[in-house]
């Protein structure tokens, strides 16, 4: 049997994920994003173990991040017979992903402020 090192979150990485969650990023996406930011590439199984998420949670997070073009995947043959293994990695540096998130959050905040201004116009 072959052993393989699996990364687990440090306190700093937990804090990073929690900050992402607090600004409105879904919990599963935040955890997977932080995990991938600290490893060159990982299999779905590595991510499940390292983030303490279940397979469906990782799959949903991956689908979202691939749609956002934050993550890319490739397939490799499994060690034994069976399905190929998908290997994931960030498609952009984490700093660029943070820039994208920041821009989206600024737009959301501006939209909310515009709605509040419109509401104030009704009571003026």
Q: pLDDT per residue over 57-105, tens digit each? A: 999 999 999 999 999 999 988 777 778 889 999 999 999 999 999 999 9
Maximal CA-CA distance, the chain: 73
- Closest to 17 in 3D by CA, of 44, 53, 43: 53
Mean per-residue pLDDT for 28-47? 95
pLDDT of residue 2: 42
Tokens 């949670």 locate to 57
Cα separation of the two ends of the chain: 73
Which stretches within the chain are classed as H helix?
11-22, 27-37, 44-51, 55-67, 94-123
- Please list the residues that pair with 43 across neighbouring strands: 87
In whole angstroms, give the CA distance from residue 65 to residue 57: 12
Mean per-residue pLDDT for 25-33? 97
Work out the pLDDT band at 1, boundaries 50, 70, 90: very low
Mean per-residue pLDDT for 24-46? 95
In whole angstroms, give the CA distance from residue 51 to residue 12: 14
Could you tell me which residue, 10 or 89, shows the higher pLDDT? Answer: 89
Domain 11-92 maps to which CATH number in 3.30.9.10, 1.10.10.10, 3.40.50.300, 2.60.40.2580?
Answer: 1.10.10.10
pLDDT of residue 8: 73
- Closest to 71 in 3D by CA, of 29, 101, 109: 29
């Amino acid at each position: 049997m072959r052993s393989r090192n699996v990364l687990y979150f440090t306190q700093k990485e937990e804090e990073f994920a929690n900050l992402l969650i607090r600004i409105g990023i879904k919990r599963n996406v935040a955890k997977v994003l932080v995990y991938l930011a600290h490893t060159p590439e990982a299999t779905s199984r590595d991510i499940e173990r390292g983030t303490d998420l279940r397979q469906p949670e990782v799959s949903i997070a991956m689908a979202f991040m691939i749609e956002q073009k934050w993550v890319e995947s490739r397939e490799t043959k499994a060690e034994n017979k069976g399905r190929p293994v998908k290997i994931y990695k960030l498609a952009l540096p984490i700093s660029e992903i943070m820039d994208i998130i920041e821009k989206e959050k600024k737009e959301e905040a501006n939209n909310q402020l515009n709605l509040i201004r419109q509401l104030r116009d009704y009571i003026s």
